[in-house]
A and B are shown apart, each in its own frame.
Chain A
């Protein structure tokens, strides 16, 4: 900052830049002081009221069970671990939800613009229905009306004695591989790198010579054949852990809880309806001239959509799409209404109640949602920048 000193008549406090800085400094100090006061005041009051404070509770034994955990967990683990279990369960339903909602949303958005009257109307009905029913009701609908009326374990529906469906969930066989599987995983990784290189080469090839190379089909073929051959050569064997009714419940295989399914279905279908509208708006924002130009170039319908329309539409789509993703993550906290063990149900629910450390726990939970939201925004912003750069 340079303060114009030469002119003796202009006092430093008459300098707008200087004054601005001083005011900002004062405001900032006041804000910091204000929050410092709130924190110390709260701590003092908690102590006066005999409510325990601090983060020491995270090392105490939790003492309660959790039905679904992506990491090893039992009741002798700590409250700190219930925090991680909760985060992972929230991330699981959110990420799967985001992927499915995006697929369904794009499909419906494009269908909405279809020239086929029936398809377009069906998409419109889907969008208008699911966008306008409160999410909680939809969760209850899937949980109670659809999954809640499934048969008891002993009368389970079964497909080839491999897959079972009952009121307690969907049971599917899970593969168990011998050690050779590491080679297969490695080969998948190597293939992916190869595909990436191939894609860059094909792009350059097209730029240089105008010749196109079918990267997509080659990639699919490579992803099937290379790991497949590795599997055979490495002599990997697979045994299937098939679920079977033992005692009260099915054991073995993978269990997909009805609480998870109901929440996932509701989040996906609800959010996809909004995404469909965003996609429709995005596509419609692409100027007609672009379509006419691409037709004049002789592009087929699919090519036109893939190469001309979607890339341009993406720039309009991504910002509102990001907020839909954030909504989905935050809405996943409705899990507690049907007993899916997400972060809010476990940590801000049971752990909070058993330990009594409301302020610390709510603070941690807010921090987690904030972090997840910021990370999603960050990723989407990076993606947005890349889409924007394509502009010529």
Chain B
């Protein structure tokens, strides 16, 4: 009996200890690396290359945070997650940052105990069809079979769109983008729907990319961004400002190549960004050269974009609304000061 009681006491105290919320920053520092949740494989966003290394704009966000915290962008362990798994993985502490083309919505922001740390890609949902079926607009899709990924905003927008346009559809729901694209490839569905950028990413994975066509309609707003647990403001700040540092760097013309020269710049904004003056890093509880490390090791936002999804990549996506605010896009970082 005493044994049972003592076991009960020990395990309950463990439970209390385990559930008390530790600061993610301290936690990550003592581990020596951070766990970053990414997709199971989406070219341009988070995908492994031939050498098995993770690449993509979402991966760069993970790296930026690691560079800020450790001064070393490689101190990241990537955890591939399906859309269905991602929020539980973050809530349960399995990952420290979720950077997996995740749309910022009110429900997710309020009900899941999460916080969105900004937007690293402005997207919108689209449709991809096989050229063979000769459809030119999404409004001609009445009665179509649609492949979609489970646990996404995509599933919900799809239902809304067809209902609003009084059309019917048959959803086939898979867990990973590979399955979704595979089913589209072998004709199980007429249409593949997803965030438009991801349609381009998935298209290059098809057997015959030239046979598939992305329809012009964009049916939703999908601001994608990194996510952290709610209630840990210190970590939230680091994630938020690591992304902002990349955007600010582009705005100020600081690049991976010129960042060393830029430390000699007389522009006070650049001096503050790179930690030459001011105590920005200290305020974030990271090294004062945090932004320097990010830019040196990862690059600014524009560089990351071009390298992963833009002209330097197979996806060839235009900057469009993802250009800086002063270049006709939405990207705007609050001042680093």
Contacts and interface: CB of A to CB of B under 8 A. Distances in A.
A65 B158 contact: yes
A63 B171 CA distance: 13
A355 interface: yes
27 contacts: A41-B15, A45-B19, A49-B21, A49-B91, A49-B231, A63-B160, A64-B159, A65-B159, A75-B159, A75-B163, A152-B187, A167-B187, A168-B145, A247-B142, A247-B143, A247-B144, A249-B143, A251-B143, A336-B150, A339-B183, A341-B173, A349-B173, A350-B151, A353-B87, A353-B152, A356-B107, A356-B111
Listed from nearest, the 8 A-B pairs whose CB atoms lie closest are: A353-B151, A75-B159, A51-B113, A49-B113, A50-B113, A247-B143, A356-B112, A52-B111
Interface string A346-382: 0001101111101000000000000000000000000
Contacts of A30: 4-5, 8
B202 to A, nearest CB: 16
A248 B145 contact: yes
Interface residues of A, number: 49
Interface of B: 1, 4-5, 8, 12, 15-16, 19, 21, 83-84, 87-88, 91, 107-108, 110-113, 133, 141-145, 150-152, 155-156, 158-160, 162-163, 169-175, 179, 182-183, 186-188, 190, 229-231
A1 interface: no
B145 A51 contact: no
Interface of A: 23, 26-27, 30, 34, 37-38, 41, 45-46, 48-52, 63-67, 74-76, 144, 148-149, 152, 167-168, 246-249, 251, 258-259, 336-337, 339, 341, 345, 349-350, 352-356, 358
Nearest to A251: B143
B143 A354 contact: no
Contacts of B141: 248
B130 to A, nearest CB: 10
Contacts of B142: 247
Given A246-B143, A345-B150, 10 more contacts: A27-B4, A50-B231, A52-B112, A65-B169, A66-B171, A67-B171, A167-B187, A248-B143, A349-B151, A353-B83
Contact of B170 (A26, A50, A249, A358): A249
A233 B187 CA distance: 48
B104 to A, nearest CB: 14
A298 to B, nearest CB: 59
A350 B173 contact: yes
Given A45-B19, A48-B21, A354 B160 contact: no
A356 B108 contact: yes
B19 A356 contact: no
A263 to B, nearest CB: 14
Contacts of A37: 12, 15
B159 A249 contact: no
Contacts of B107: 354, 356
A51 B21 CA distance: 14
Nearest to A258: B188
Task: Give the one of B88, B110, B152, B156 with max A CB within 10 A.
Answer: B156
Contacts of B156: 63-64, 354
A348 to B, nearest CB: 9
Nearest to A149: B186
Contacts of A65: 155, 158-159, 162, 169-171
